[in-house]
A and B are shown apart, each in its own frame.
Chain A
Amino acid sequence: MSDDDLVFKALADPTRRHLLDRLFVRDGRTLTELESELTMTRFGVMKHLRVLEEAGLVVTRKSGREKLHFLNPVPIRLLHDRWIDKYTERHVSALVDLKKELEETS
């Protein structure tokens, strides 16, 4: 699966989007904090967090004995820059970028 596929797949789930929303409001949370707001087993939340981590949307960092989860907005930024801009900004440079991208991926 490509990076884009992993991100789209990770975002295609309401629980995972909810987890990202929680991290957007307040970053650097523990698993315990994140699961306290979901009617789901700890294992279930861990599974969702793993999908988010594999897509690069969540980055973890050790702080003492705790593992903190941070929202990493870069993959969404990349999707935005590569896909959204492409269809919303119809100026010449976008076409140039598109051409370049097609040439490189073909």
Chain B
Amino acid sequence: MTTVTQPTAIATEPAPASTVQVYRVYIKAGAQAIWDAITRPEWTNRYGYTGFAEYDLRPGGAYRVRANEEFKAAAAAGGFPCPDIVVDGEVVEVDPPRRLVTTWRLLMDPGMAAEGFTRVTYDIKELDGFCSLTVTHDLAGAPRLALLVSGAFEDMGGGGGGGHAWVLSDLKSLLETGTTLAGAG
């Protein structure tokens, strides 16, 4: 049996905590289908936090997510009315259907909005009959947003807390079965 020792003091300086979060999911779908599910509003409104993503798919192009009416009503009922545009950013790199890099700022909460822009990278790799989708979120300077997207607020209810892992699980469910985890489609 392996013994696990308590962490001991190391002479070297401890490395700073990484501000990068990496999420990977394997999906039985083509790269183009996954690309569409990430970049087209009719798809982005069907899974995860929903909302209509609008990308101007060229470097420097605008990126924003418009909340749908249901989401806005739920937010208002929960006591945190949300703006029409819930996420904004700028396209940094586009290579359809393989790679998309954007800056990313959440506008729903003033505190998180004030943390400024972070950076999200989507990498889609075609494998043998399925694809891997890797989401890399560099959250330098955005500790509050980092907590949110890591799923730390899962227990707060309202379906808002699952973060990237929940979104990717939902996306996989939608693309593979045509139905999201909530049973909507």
Instruction: Please give the residue numbers on chain A whose beta carbons come within 8 Å of chain B beta carbons, in ascending order.
Output: 3, 14-15, 18, 26-29, 33, 36-40, 44, 56, 59, 61, 68, 70, 72-74, 76-78, 81, 85, 93, 96-97, 100, 104
- A14-B4, A37-B7 known; A77-B136 Cβ under 8 A: no
> Which single residue of chain A is at the shortest CB-CB distance from B5?
A39
Contact for A68 among B1, B18, B182, CB less than 8 A: B18
Tell me the complex Cα distance, A3–B169, Å: 14
Contact of B177 among A37, A68, A104 (CB under 8 A): A104
Would A15 and B4 count as touching, CB distance under 8 A? yes
Q: Determine if B181 and A81 form an interchain contact, defined as CB atoms under 8 angstroms apart.
A: yes
Distance, CA A70 to CA B168, complexed state (A): 17
Could you say which residues of chain B place their CB within 8 Å of the CB of A14?
1-2, 4
In the complex, what distance in Å separates the CA atom of A24 from the CA atom of B183?
30
Which residues does chain B contribute within 8 Å of A97, judged by CB atoms? Answer: 179, 181, 183
Do residues B26 and A27 form an inter-chain contact, with CB atoms below 8 A? no
User: Please, which residues of chain A bring their CB within 8 A of the CB of B172?
Assistant: 78
CB atoms of A27 and B17 under 8 A apart: yes
Instruction: Determine the interface band of chain B, counting residues with CB < 8 A from chain A.
Output: 35 or more
Total A-B residue pairs with C-beta atoms closer than 8 Å? 87
* Contact in complex: A77, B24 (CB < 8 Å): no
Least Cβ–Cβ distance between B151 and chain A, in angstroms: 7
Interface residues of B in 141-167 (CB under 8 A from A): 150-151, 162, 164-166
B2 and A61 contacting across the interface, CB-CB below 8 Å:
no
Using A61-B136, A73-B151, A74-B24 as known contacts, say yes or no to A93 and B183 having CB atoms under 8 A apart. Answer: yes
B10 at the interface (CB under 8 A from A): yes
Q: Mark B124-154, 1 if CB is under 8 A from A, else 0.
A: 0000000000101000000000000011000
Query: Could you list 17 further interchain pairs (A-B, Cβ under 8 angstroms) beyond the known A29-B18, A77-B168?
Result: A14-B1, A26-B18, A27-B22, A37-B7, A39-B5, A40-B2, A44-B2, A59-B23, A70-B20, A70-B22, A73-B151, A77-B165, A77-B169, A78-B172, A81-B181, A97-B181, A100-B179
Q: Contacts of A100 on B, CB cut-off 8 Å? A: 177, 179
- Whether B20 pairs with A28 at a CB distance below 8 angstroms is yes
Closest to B4 in A: A18
Which residues in A have their C-beta under 8 angstroms from that of B4? 14-15, 18, 37-39
